[in-house]
Amino acid sequence: MYASSTEAPVLVVGTAHVIDLAAPLRALLDGRDLQGIAIELDHDRARSLLGPEPAGGRGRPGEVPFFLRLWSVVQRRLGEDLGAGAGAEMRTAAALATEWGIPLLLIDDPVRETVVRLFRSLSFRERLGLLAGGLIGLVVPARVVRAQIGEYARAPEGFLEELRHQYPGVARVLLDDRNEHMADRLAGLRRQGFGRMAAVVGDAHLPGLAQALRRRGIPVETVPFGTLSRVKGR
């Protein structure tokens, strides 16, 4: 046990947005004395994914470039093919927070601001690469994607290194910047007394977010996607 809740580490859980991890996530979090569950969503995406808007969020989705809308379609399609739909792990985290009577904490940047920053930062080559990848994602068999996710789970460092090499703008805006901002929000929640928290994020965020929290003097416990996927559901 910890002398105070603010000495407890933040539990950072890495997930895959298109894989159904509801049972492992529930088994992992069940029995932990949590004061809140944080998820990698902002208010707009939470309204879209979870239904009724959590307290405090308003706004309309902004205009999104075509190649980003295409990737959104790909993610939904793969989520339906591989599990319970895209964002199933976020819906599970939200359901657990409701079931246990604890706050659901939204820690991501506003999606409209992220889209603007991303669009401005991408080179022409990166935009073409994302467009080509999205078109391939519309037709690639789900079994191929599942195999690639399995390879990622075994060696995520190589995939992240390749992402940074091929798409530096994407890595900077979608990973590095958001990791720092999510760490700031989690640090703010700690100051408000939310010590025993679980943060459910995409696995690519896990190493950078954990490092950002430690730089802020916050202890961290991490459960990567590869470990979570092997947790026996209840």
Among 12-16, 18-22, 163-167, 191-195, whose mean pLDDT is lowest? Answer: 18-22
Check pLDDT > 70 for residue 41. yes
Torsion of CA 160, 136, 82, 94, to 10 degrees: 60
Higher pLDDT, 139 or 148: 148
- Please, where are the H alpha helices in 52-123? 66-82, 88-100, 111-121
pLDDT computed for residue 21 by the predictor:
82
pLDDT computed for residue 146 by the predictor:
58
CB 159 within 8 A of CB 150: no
Integer Cα distance of 8 and 14 in angstroms: 19
pLDDT computed for residue 16 by the predictor:
81
Say what the pTM is: 0.78
Reduce the secondary structure of 163-208 to three states and give it as a string. HHHHCHHHHHHHHHHHHHHHHHHHHHHHHCCCCCEEEEEEHHHHHH
Average pLDDT over residues 17-43: 89
pLDDT computed for residue 91 by the predictor:
87
| Residue 23: CB atoms within 10 Å | 13
CB 14 within 8 A of CB 223: yes
Domain ranges of the chain: 5-53+61-228
Closest CA to 46 of 30, 32, 57, 35: 57
pLDDT computed for residue 44 by the predictor:
82
pLDDT in tens, 44-69: 888 877 875 443 333 344 454 554 45
Instruction: Report the half-sphere exposure of 83 (CA within 13 A, side-chain side).
Output: 22
Average pLDDT over residues 205-216: 96
Supply the mean pLDDT for the chain: 78
The amino acid occupying position 172 is R
pLDDT computed for residue 142 by the predictor:
53
Of all residues in the chain, the percent with pLDDT exceeding 90 is 38
pLDDT computed for residue 194 by the predictor:
93
Integer Cα distance of 176 and 195 in angstroms: 24
| Residue 175: CB atoms within 10 Å | 20
